[in-house]
Amino acid sequence: MSRRSLPNIIITGTPGCGKTSHAEQLASQSGLNHISISDFAKENKCIEGYDEERDSSIVDEDKLLDALEPLIEKGGQIIDWHCCEIFPERWIDLVIVLRCNNTILYDRLQKRGYKESKISENVEVEIMQVLLMEAKDNYAEEIVIELNSEDVDSLEENVERIGQWIDNWKNDHPDGVSNDSGN
């Protein structure tokens, strides 16, 4: 039974909500490792195709989880991806769901050059709170936190808050946690 002395965190949200900005800044300040799942999947040959309609890669989730497991077992990982339900609950100590005002989100996605259909789909996902509900349905309520991400001030406040959570987690788990049960 292996143990990890650092927490694993998921930062999820609709594309354009600031997942990568949060993960990069948090990694820089905390010393945890940022894993952009989109990049990781490509680097580890976990792409099984391409969805023309959605203009995005199709990830082989089983292959992805197999490739991620050794890193997750070490602990100290910040997972940055637009979904969270595929990751086993025992791997994860905190799920951050970033939320964004629809007008701001629309403008961000438009600046990225997304097709109108992809912008509309993502704004609808945000309106319907799809990713928040996904997180709440798949993880214990006490580890799911919803944070607004609309400007630099909210980014800095969020990263500071998550950093405090990391410090508290370390203090609360001086002997680490088991990779088998999360305890």
Annotated binding site for ATP: 16, 18-21, 112
Q: Is 131 exposed, middle or buried (0-12, 13-18, 19+ CB in 10 A)?
A: buried
Q: Which residue's entry shows tokens 């609808």?
A: 124
Separation CA 2–CA 144 (nearest Å): 25
DSSP string, 45-99: T-EEEEETTTTEEEE-HHHHHHHHHHHHHH--EEEE-S--TTS-GGG-SEEEEEE
Task: Name every residue whose Cβ is closer than 8 Å to that of residue 119 and which is 6 or more positions away in sequence.
Answer: 106, 109, 110
Say if residue 113 is exposed, middle or buried (CB neighbours under 10 Å; 0-12, 13-18, 19+): exposed
User: Which residues are known binding-site members?
Assistant: 16, 18-21, 112
